[in-house]
Structure 1
């Protein structure tokens, strides 16, 4: 396996001061990819493309749950059938997370606060007590007591690489005779996102990453 270089990573970024941003993320990304066998240019290109999109180029490491009442009614119409109900949760990310993630993904009820404690974090938004517990075992970190470790570069990158490996995404990133790599990239997106939201942006990152790593 060859580590990605600072120059290769900078070519994928359009953020202000890409040099400093790339320097911050280079080692965490390389260490995480090495740990979880993301060890070929094709695997690295697909992983970088997906994590760049999911995290807004490694800038957003925690789920944004700050919604207006109007937006709550649009996103979760069944949960917020009235303006009055929506107003109770508008502009209150902690209260909203505790509601929408209650009693699923291994979380307790709304009063437990698990929805907020185990909200989406990391480069691939790891969500729910059950997933945090599985990731904690894989990374040998106490994420149930210290979930904010996933908001630090090392934890954010390692959790994403663990998710990638545990969902068998390396195999999908590998080119195979008779297989359409673009179709496999779509399958990767579905396993990460549950659908194909942002597909065009993901493909653009993928094309840039393949070119930067010499497999475009």
Structure 2
């Protein structure tokens, strides 16, 4: 097994991609803010990911991070803490799991509270598995730009990606942000939703969502648990993973040397 660097060594730079090699002009005097992320940094954040996946994610981020203004150490730390929670240590982008029990459907979704017989019909119980497609089309029908139940858009535009996006309107807004900030990006996540599960599409759509939701500005406010929670409120308000996201941020803020950044809030 190859030797793994300690977190304190990750910003010293090694080989062809030193962290202090800026890719563009920075505001302020911290050379790391506008530096490309490195293989070592990504491995520290995603310790179980394959080398090939690490490289693909790193290349996607490095190709576009300045376009989405993820060009501060603190912004990178907050961004990758959220990504780490969403895709795990192995970088496995997931499609939303709708394998809900009847009782949970009525707790989570207004549609099934209003239509309890359908919660019993489509939710998981002792008699049958959950009908996830039927659940999605009802839970998300006529929401976030989706059409009716019959349109199938609730199922088509269910949650996906490195930061899960849900609903046709959200997919389109993220695509619009990608097109505006990165013309010629080669992606169309509205027409090809599965692109959000691939390293390039997953990373760029997450960066576009981040920029669209003004999470850079929230990142700039600070590096406490409360600041992580404020970002989590936007990314996934109802999650039960708030403490895990803070734990990941404790790693990423060391990886990106937030404490030493001269562009962080005073």
1:148-175 Cα offsets, whole Å, 9 max, x none, are: 2212111111111111111111112125
Q: Which residue of 2 aligns with 1:188?
A: 231
Q: Which residue of 2 aligns with 1:121?
A: 160
Q: Tell me, which stretches of 5 or more residues in structure 2 are unaligned?
A: 1-33, 180-186, 260-266
Q: Which structure dedicates a bigger proportion of its chain to helix?
A: 1
5 Å-filtered alignment, 1:43-58, equals 43-57=75-89, 58=91
Off by >6 Å, runs of 4+ in structure 1: none
TM-score by length of 2: 0.70
Paired residue secondary structure (1:104): coil
Alignment: residue pair count: 212
Instruction: Identify if the C-alpha distance between structure 1 residues 157 and 32 changes in structure 2 by more than 3 Å, giving closer, same or farther.
Output: farther
Q: Tell me, which stretches of 5 or more residues in structure 1 are unaligned?
A: none
The answer to which of 67-76 and 119-128 deviates more is 67-76
Supply the RMSD in Å over aligned alpha carbons. Answer: 2.5
Bigger Rg, which one: 2
- Looking at structure 2, the residues matched to 180 and 21 of structure 1 have their Cα atoms a distance apart, in angstroms, of 28
5 Å-filtered alignment, 1:28-177, equals 28-57=60-89, 58-69=91-102, 72=105, 75-76=108-109, 78=113, 81=116, 84-87=120-123, 90-140=129-179, 141-175=187-221
Instruction: Identify if the C-alpha distance between structure 1 residues 33 and 90 changes in structure 2 by more than 3 Å, giving closer, same or farther.
Output: farther
1:77-117 Cα offsets, whole Å, 9 max, x none, are: 62673574245884332222111101111111111001011
Deviation at 1:48, TM superposition (A): 0.1
- Looking at structure 1, the residues matched to 114 and 64 of structure 2 have their Cα atoms a distance apart, in angstroms, of 38
Q: Which residue of 2 aligns with 1:212?
A: 255
